Chain A
Amino acid sequence: MALAKIFVANRGEIAVRIVRAAKELGIATVQAVSAADETMLAARLADEVAKVGPPHASKSYLNADALIAAALETGCDAVHPGYGFLSENADFAAKVEAAGLVFIGPKPETIRKMGDKAMARREAGLAGVPTVPGSEGIVKDVAEAAAAADAVGYPVMIKAAAGGGGRGIRIAENAGDLAALIPQASAEAKAAFGDGGLYLERFVRRARHVEVQILGDGERAIHLFERECSLQRRRQKVWEEAPAACLTPEQREALCSSAVKLAERVNYRGAGTLEYLFDETTGEFFFIEMNTRIQVEHPVTEMVTGVDLLRWMIRIAGGEPLGLSQDDISLTGHAVEARINAEDPAADFRPHPGTVTALEVPGGMGVRFDTMLYPGYQVPPFYDSLLGKLIAHAESREAAIARLARALGELKVEGLPTTAPLHLALAAAAAVKSGNFHTGWLEEWLKSRPLAEGQPGTESEVR
């Protein structure tokens, strides 16, 4: 059953992306809008607009009943959840289906299974996909910890079983450290959490974040190679690339085929991403979690593979089998993506809504700007700060970074500050150019104040 009319249950730049993909497939769109979003770009581009509630997301884009009612009222046959909001909410997906609508994404049970970290880790193990090595549950004493650490491999993290969010973590480099730290960590965990139970996990010091894009139709799955997203600030991705320059062809093949195995094991339907930690020093990769939705950084994959992920999501949801085989997918060149946020890099990235008084959009060969901006648009304060993504594609990584820098130079957003100056500085940084970074690198680098006044890339023109 081909879809005829899609309800876009999201906002911002991804809503624009969904409307565009639907339009290219000859499918009508109804854009959900909160009271703060009636003038947004996706609302201008969609065939119809449906008001779903007040500005606060809990009353609009997170209000499952209001969204489904609006989709039914406007005669839609499918709902695209985008990313964030309700996109990984299994109950929402089930409600959409119960209302007789198609959920453009995986089955609710897949979302539930892969959204639970412990269950996802178990599925990964069963599919033969490596996860971060650790002790089998709690280690009772130093002797048991030492035996477990030998099996896991040093350095190890000592974690409190009752802890969370990084609290109570210690690093042991060797057996001597471990013997000294275990009693201390146990006493501290007992005092802090009322439970002295400890477990061990391999510590990856200079981890890189790599992730594999997959597409499946519920029976068969393929990968579309990987992305690297190691440049992060406060665990938010800032700059993404495809492919990951840190992998050898053999590592790439092993990584990507492991993702396909896991996707096929769970009968994955739609577009999904498996996230991994990559240890450059040992060449090992470990599955962390799966995102059962389209991701912000999907365009870099589209650029290097030539595959339109959004169109495939919609076609698969409409019942078409995945018309691509693994042999159809090949890598061409390199792509980098800079997230352009409404934040002031000169003021500790303070978010900054406002009105776009003037806009100049970069162009030319290999440049793509997926954005929600237009001149005169008033960026509301109620949602996240992502304004758009500037993507550059070229024959090599070096050429792609040069192209991104060139495009960033052409981008002019007036009326509010953006993170463009950060990206100009990153594109010029030696570690970025050489690809010598890890997930902690960006925050360390920012401490050296590379964006201080008077440095290149902080010109007020991009304000």
Chain B
Amino acid sequence: MTKTTIEAPIPGTFYRAPSPQEPVFKNEGDAVAIGDTVGLIEVMKSFTPVVAEAAGTLVAFHVENEEPVMAGQPLYDLEG
């Protein structure tokens, strides 16, 4: 089991769910497949999905919902 830290690809505001009324894309402990959406980053009112480029188990988020994130900042940890 190796742990990889995935970094935010772009700066903005991080969202864990498609909208406040909907469930989060991924919880800690969920399996992640390549192509899965893990969250959204809002850049200047435009929303970009954070898409997994590696598979594994999502063990931790480093950024809370609706919190600012900078490009290259650790976003989540994947174990696989």
Interface set of A (CB-CB < 8 Å, partner B):
36, 54-56, 58, 342-343, 350-351, 353, 381-385
Contact A36 B44 (CB under 8 A): no
* Residues in B neighbouring A58, C-beta threshold 8 A: 66
Q: A36-B68, A55-B68 are in contact. Are A382 and B46 (CB under 8 A)?
A: no
Name the interface size band of chain B: 10 to 19
A342, A350, A381 pick with most chain B CB within 10 angstroms: A381
Contact B44 A385 (CB under 8 A): yes
* Residues in B neighbouring A350, C-beta threshold 8 A: 46
Contact A351 B13 (CB under 8 A): no
* Residues in A neighbouring B11, C-beta threshold 8 A: 353, 381
Flag whether B24 is at the interface (Cβ < 8 A): no
In the complex, per-residue mask of B44-72: 1 if CB is within 8 Å of any chain A CB, else 0:
11100000000000000000001110000
Q: A36-B68, A54-B68, A56-B66 are in contact. Are A383 and B13 (CB under 8 A)?
A: no
Contact A383 B68 (CB under 8 A): no
Q: How far is the CA of A54 from the CA of B13 in the complex (A)?
A: 11
Q: How far is the CA of A342 from the CA of B68 in the complex (A)?
A: 19
Contact B66 A351 (CB under 8 A): no
Q: How far is the CA of A382 from the CA of B66 in the complex (A)?
A: 11
* Residues in B neighbouring A381, C-beta threshold 8 A: 10-13, 42-44
Can you spell out 29 A-B residue pairs with CB atoms less than 8 angstroms apart? Answer: A36-B68, A54-B67, A54-B68, A55-B13, A56-B13, A56-B66, A56-B67, A56-B68, A58-B66, A342-B44, A343-B44, A351-B43, A351-B44, A351-B45, A353-B12, A353-B43, A353-B44, A381-B11, A381-B12, A381-B42, A382-B13, A382-B42, A382-B44, A383-B44, A383-B45, A384-B44, A384-B45, A385-B44, A385-B45
Nearest CB of chain B from residue A50's CB, rounded to whole Å: 20
Complex: chain B residue closest to A36, CB-CB: B68
Complex: chain B residue closest to A343, CB-CB: B44
List 5 tightest A-B contacts by C-beta distance, closest first: A351-B44, A385-B44, A381-B12, A381-B11, A55-B68
Q: How far is the CA of A350 from the CA of B12 in the complex (A)?
A: 13
Q: How far is the CA of A353 from the CA of B68 in the complex (A)?
A: 14
* Residues in A neighbouring B66, C-beta threshold 8 A: 56, 58
Nearest CB of chain A from residue B13's CB, rounded to whole Å: 6
Contact B46 A351 (CB under 8 A): yes
* Residues in A neighbouring B10, C-beta threshold 8 A: 381
In the complex, per-residue mask of B1-37: 1 if CB is within 8 Å of any chain A CB, else 0:
0000000001111000000000000000000000000
Complex: chain B residue closest to A58, CB-CB: B66
Q: How far is the CA of A383 from the CA of B44 in the complex (A)?
A: 5
Complex: chain B residue closest to A385, CB-CB: B44
Complex: chain A residue closest to B66, CB-CB: A56
Q: How far is the CA of A350 from the CA of B48 in the complex (A)?
A: 10
Q: How far is the CA of A384 from the CA of B13 in the complex (A)?
A: 13
Q: How far is the CA of A56 from the CA of B43 in the complex (A)?
A: 11
Complex: chain A residue closest to B10, CB-CB: A381
Complex: chain B residue closest to A59, CB-CB: B66
* Residues in A neighbouring B42, C-beta threshold 8 A: 381-382
Q: How far is the CA of A56 from the CA of B44 in the complex (A)?
A: 11
Q: How far is the CA of A353 from the CA of B45 in the complex (A)?
A: 12
* Residues in B neighbouring A55, C-beta threshold 8 A: 13, 68
Q: How far is the CA of A55 from the CA of B11 in the complex (A)?
A: 12
Nearest CB of chain B from residue A62's CB, rounded to whole Å: 12
* Residues in B neighbouring A351, C-beta threshold 8 A: 43-46
Complex: chain B residue closest to A34, CB-CB: B68
Q: How far is the CA of A379 from the CA of B75 in the complex (A)?
A: 22
Q: How far is the CA of A61 from the CA of B12 in the complex (A)?
A: 16
Q: A382-B68, A383-B44 are in contact. List 12 more A-B contacts (CB 8 A).
A: A54-B67, A54-B68, A55-B13, A55-B68, A56-B67, A342-B44, A351-B43, A351-B46, A381-B11, A381-B42, A381-B43, A384-B44
